[in-house]
Structure 1
Amino acid sequence: MSRSESPAESIAEQEERIKRHLSASREIAERLEFDDQLSFEMGLPSPGRRTFIKTSGVVAASAALAGCAGDDDDDDGPESTDDEESPDEEPPAAERSETVQLAAKQYEFQPQEIRVPPNTELTIEFTQSTFEENEEFTMHTFYLEDPYDIGPIELPENTNDELIDSVTFVTDEEGTFDFECSAYCGDGHAQMNGQLYVVPEGESVDEVDFTDMGTLKERHEILKEERELAQEPQHDLDLRDIMVVTERNNASVAMIDTVNDRLMERVENVGKAIHVHDFHPELPEQTREGAYVYTQSRQGEMYKIDLFDFERVAVADAGTDARDIAVSRDGNYVIGGFYNPNHLVICDAETMEPIKRIPTHTVNPDGESLGSRVCSLYDVPEEGLFLAGLKEGGEVWLIDYTQEDFPVVATIECGRTLHDGFFTADGRYFMIASQTDNQMDIIDTHERRHVAAIPMDGVPHPGPGALYPDEDLAFTTHAGSPSVGVWNTETWEAEKTIDVRGSGLFIRKHEHSDYVWADVILTDSEDDAYVYTIDPDTLEVDQEIDCSQWGAAAAIHPEFSRDGEKVYISVWKGENESILVFDPNTGELLTQIEDLLAPTGKFLGVRAEGH
């Protein structure tokens, strides 16, 4: 197939657009139709706006697309929409009313958490909007996620306490809901978020302190005793052939049989927007002791799920915003990395009871003291260490889980705005994306030091990455640039930049496959339905596959079967939410797994062999 023409937007403009949104969190990214931290989860557009009782000033989705406004951008915003109200929907009833004043600082909202009982007529009054760190910016915004779907509301610079705008609505849905600034306002924009907590009936509206170990232990819950679980698999599948798939909009995971390519079971109520799954290291033994997968939702819950009978076993609720999870090689511990609070939480892998909290406060590459979100977590092969990437901190931490107090035994400086990474084939070197600096940083986990920074053509987004050990090569997609970066894992030199159809998020290769597979996403065009293959010997694109012919508007996240004879692609947006199954060498569509609910990230039980 012929390559599509280059969009009018220049490569530099594309990259800047992506960088503006690297820090935007979940629901803003959904509205912009790409992932918040350019990570595993891809959202779907909101189905429709809820009813407002009243608003004053601007409430328009298009503000999210404009970015932060400088002095030259003041006239670019949408027209005002006063007293927006749906003609087809009656406002929900309220049992009480409450007013909260909210200020937007650079770079935080004050307060960062709003706690109210359900069925409250809540008025949020927006007062100050200030730019203490960077006066080039003159606009914040406020957006409250689904199911409330409020905003973005424009908050132009205002240094006094006069009312800028307000919105009133009824809190008729219980739970924790993110609000955030949808307009980039400088390097600290990632911290401009908060939570609306609509407290379930019977609970106190007093703030939950997730930094207190007593609170963390209280919020831990065993859902099913181990003795009550099935002692043998209730299916005939090797656990390594089970693929756990995030169903983005349903707070569920789908269990896929990758031998027969069918949906086996759906596990509900495991937290909103599962981001990562990791497996017990004894899973390959097919015994009761290892038959578990651990998940981390973006809401902060870590679930333990049984793979014999697909039961929820236990949960640790340790924050309100989170991304990553890892299981120790000895099978004793699970560690979760959080955005809010800025901390790591280590749990007993059997019960999920929190046993250690590690605040992630550090000094970033620019010498600023700050709390940092945790963007990536791994067990370091053969080292008895957890590896944690600190996003704003620009550091990789190594945590020794063989010692009782779990000390941080190394802090290794990298570049700015860290994201995800992957290990070399021998497990010694960890290669992590520094997205603001457009480079891959290389960490020697044996010597515990930084050994190289490899420049990339665009914002690197390797996801689980791709390796071709025959030629000592590693690959990453680029977000915001239509290219794939390739480097040598012996010399740590850039090998080639491969021109591809568009920017992407995920790239994979199996040791038994002939080709590297990658996706196209973030192009805001029909190209988002494409996946493609790269010949690792010639380092050229071999084939492009338009998945729109099978109902995909966006296709994402290639993942291989255990034997490498099939590759799975998620249709996360389109007419038929499903998984496409291809022959990895010919590109032939083999089958389509249907009846899924916005499938996104896919994790195979064979990952446990990496432990």
Structure 2
Amino acid sequence: MKTSLIARSVLTILLSLCTLSSHAYSADKLSNKAKPVVDHSKAEKLYEVHCQSCHGVDRLGAMGPALLPENLARFRQKKAIKVINKGRAATQMPAFGQVLNKSEIASLVEYIYTPSKASLKWTMADINASKVQHFDQSKLPNTAQFEADLMNLFIVVELGDHSATLLNGDTFERLDRFKTRFALHGGPKYSPDGRFVYFASRDGWISKYDIYNRKTVSEVRAAINTRNIAISSDGKYLIVGNYLPQNVVILNADDLSPIKVIDAVDSEGNSSRVSAVYNAPPRYSFIVALKDVKEVWEIPYSDKGGVEVYKGWAHDYKNEAKAEGWKVQEQFPVRRIKTDDYLNDFFFDPDYINLIGTARNNHNGQVINLDTKKKIASIALTGMPHLGSGITWHYKDKEVFASPNIKEGKITVIDMEDWNVIKEIKTEGPGFFMRSHSNSPYAWTDVFFGPNNDKVHVIDKSTLKIVKTLAPSPGKNAAHVEFTKDGKYVLLSVWDMDGELIVYDANTLEIVTRMPMKKPSGKYNVFNKISYEKGTSH
């Protein structure tokens, strides 16, 4: 959509989370009177001017979701007209009612519900053919070509000009700044030793960057529209979760060659978009969130085919494999876990035995035991909790989980023993990111949406009270903090083209330094990510 109205950011993906409703689409249910006679050449031009920058060439998706009949099947045209006219609350979708007239909006809607001329298939052959080898990794040094604590480095994503910064977490010196693919999404993932970092873009490109040598070594396009990636604990495999095609792709992390493509189809044959993919370290498996079907998938990985070496389950995995019709040596088999409701946003307990999930429909959260494949509890969650950004900490001799909320101004704190809500902490507006560190007494949360989006709350984890509200750069959106590996400093982003990275003392809450950046978004500390520090997202 028109970027002069609102700066593009990674959060435009929320359009897909908030607007693809459960209503069945039927184009011919609109009255003939409501249907304009569409001049597709004019509608296509409107799309190019107002929509293409976010939704991609041929409507295949970029910063925003793909706008195709396949993606809009659950979304009525009348509602699409309303969204274009008025925008969408809690997303980066602007209103076009003052820019386009009713006829233009109607013709745009008709256009996006027509099939794309582009192919929506992306095969193993397409993936292989897309590979770009920038450097021969075998010829690069195996030691870092600079002096720094390699565990206290950060990757900072700068959305403003599609770049990333490699930052020294001790001196806050910029060690490298390099171009990335358009519209990175889902957070970069580090190899277990911290040497390599992998990025995913909304249009399916997976990039591998060698931190030691400060070079992007290889890239491959795994899909047309991608949600995110995860890396196995042994560093051998990447899994890519996709909207288009509706599948997951397993890549060799060494050379980014595709190993397996698994269509996202439930046991009844229904296809689904993939909301997200996760690594579950104690289980030696990937967990897959499916947006459109009532299933969660577990995909084990190991050198012996995934079904012979598995330490996370209390029951006999081979018996279950046999019951579900797996071949004993099948690589990356799918273990299906059926759910009572759609679950597309997840969090896990520290042992990765229980999955906490919600649908985007104001229903209660569900707690699913991954070992028994059964729901063990419901959680009173309203609004739109952002579980994927939740964190845990120790509170009064119990482990608690806290989640921000995209629709309501509150933080929900949950007891992870009985799954009851302990407290709802009121904030100055809906938020998106929450972070802490095991060495810090505080949890930080932004107020990303609404008029107070320049505010950040600091919560005392021992009292569950807000102890300070900061305004790092008045009038500019403040969001997403990350701690240094020791928890002494907090890095915060000011999401603006004339933005900055602000470093705070994590204890005194005083500003240490400011660094100008082009719309910095997420920042990711090597140690915190590879050690699964409980104060950060995984």
TM-score, normalised on structure 1? 0.66
Deviations 1:405-424 (A, max 9, x none): 311112342533623x3332
Q: How does 1:257-336 map to 2 (within 5 A)?
A: 257-283=168-194, 291-336=195-240
Distance between the aligned counterparts of 1:282 and 1:536, measured in 2? 31
* Aligned counterpart, 1:416: 342
Aligned partner of 2:145: which letter? Q
Distance between the aligned counterparts of 2:511 and 2:111, measured in 1? 40
Which of 493, 506, 511 is residue 570 of structure 1 equivalent to?
493
Q: Quick one: structure 1 residues 154 and 395, their matched pair in 2 at CA, closer, same or farther if it must change by over 3 Å?
A: farther
Q: Are the counterparts in 1 of residues 124 and 261 from structure 2 also a CA contact under 8 Å? A: yes
Deviations 1:78-108 (A, max 9, x none): xxxxxxxxxxxxxxxxxxx988889x9xxxx
* Aligned counterpart, 1:9: none
Higher mean alpha-carbon deviation, 267-276 vs 394-403, is at 267-276
Shift of 1:448: 3.8
Deviations 1:450-488 (A, max 9, x none): 322312242101343211134311100011211111101
1:604 aligns with 2:515: no
Distance between the aligned counterparts of 1:270 and 1:347, measured in 2? 18
Distance between the aligned counterparts of 1:292 and 1:194, measured in 2? 39
Deviations 1:328-349 (A, max 9, x none): 1122111111111111110001
Q: Quick one: structure 1 residues 476 and 194, their matched pair in 2 at CA, closer, same or farther if it must change by over 3 Å?
A: farther
Which of 513, 527, 535 is residue 591 of structure 1 equivalent to?
513
* Aligned counterpart, 1:437: 362
Q: Are the counterparts in 2 of residues 439 and 459 from structure 1 also a CA contact under 8 Å? A: no
Q: Quick one: structure 1 residues 113 and 555, their matched pair in 2 at CA, closer, same or farther if it must change by over 3 Å?
A: closer
Task: Tell me how large the CA RMSD over aligned residues is.
Answer: 4.1
1:558 aligns with 2:485: no
Aligned partner of 1:570: which letter? S
The count of corresponding residues between Structure 1 and Structure 2 is 456
Which of 228, 234, 255 is residue 166 of structure 2 equivalent to?
255
- Larger helix proportion, structure 1 or 2? 2
1:241 aligns with 2:152: yes
Q: Are the counterparts in 2 of residues 113 and 195 from structure 1 also a CA contact under 8 Å? A: no
SS in 2 for 1:475: strand
SS in 2 for 1:36: helix
Shift of 1:294: 0.9
Shift of 1:302: 0.8
Distance between the aligned counterparts of 1:132 and 1:293, measured in 2? 36
Distance between the aligned counterparts of 2:190 and 2:10, measured in 1? 27
Which of 244, 248, 253 is residue 340 of structure 1 equivalent to?
244
Which of 402, 412, 424 is residue 497 of structure 1 equivalent to?
424
Shift of 1:238: 2.6
Aligned partner of 2:387: which letter? P
SS in 1 for 2:371: coil
* Aligned counterpart, 1:69: none
Q: Are the counterparts in 1 of residues 282 and 351 from structure 2 also a CA contact under 8 Å? A: no
Shift of 1:275: 3.2
Q: Are the counterparts in 2 of residues 581 and 590 from structure 1 also a CA contact under 8 Å? A: yes
Which of 64, 68, 81 is residue 139 of structure 1 equivalent to?
81
Aligned partner of 1:250: which letter? D
Distance between the aligned counterparts of 1:584 and 1:194, measured in 2? 52
Aligned partner of 2:334: which letter? V
Which of 266, 277, 282 is residue 377 of structure 1 equivalent to?
277
Q: How does 1:409-488 map to 2 (within 5 A)?
A: 409-413=335-339, 415-416=341-342, 418-419=344-345, 421-470=346-395, 471-488=398-415
SS in 2 for 1:216: helix
Shift of 1:515: 1.0
SS in 1 for 2:260: strand
Q: Are the counterparts in 2 of residues 327 and 335 from structure 1 also a CA contact under 8 Å? A: yes
Identity, % of aligned positions: 24
Q: Quick one: structure 1 residues 412 and 208, their matched pair in 2 at CA, closer, same or farther if it must change by over 3 Å?
A: closer
Q: Are the counterparts in 2 of residues 29 and 36 from structure 1 also a CA contact under 8 Å? A: no
Higher mean alpha-carbon deviation, 462-471 vs 328-337, is at 462-471
Which of 35, 44, 50 is residue 11 of structure 2 equivalent to?
35
SS in 1 for 2:531: helix
Q: Are the counterparts in 2 of residues 113 and 196 from structure 1 also a CA contact under 8 Å? A: no
Which of 421, 443, 455 is residue 516 of structure 1 equivalent to?
443
Q: Quick one: structure 1 residues 397 and 157, their matched pair in 2 at CA, closer, same or farther if it must change by over 3 Å?
A: farther
SS in 2 for 1:139: helix
Q: Are the counterparts in 2 of residues 131 and 137 from structure 1 also a CA contact under 8 Å? A: no
Distance between the aligned counterparts of 1:303 and 1:561, measured in 2? 25
SS in 2 for 1:478: coil
Q: How does 1:6-25 map to 2 (within 5 A)?
A: none
Aligned partner of 2:521: which letter? T
* Aligned counterpart, 1:79: none
Distance between the aligned counterparts of 1:138 and 1:330, measured in 2? 44
SS in 2 for 1:326: strand
Q: Are the counterparts in 1 of residues 44 and 111 from structure 2 also a CA contact under 8 Å? A: no
Aligned partner of 1:230: which letter? P
Shift of 1:573: 2.1
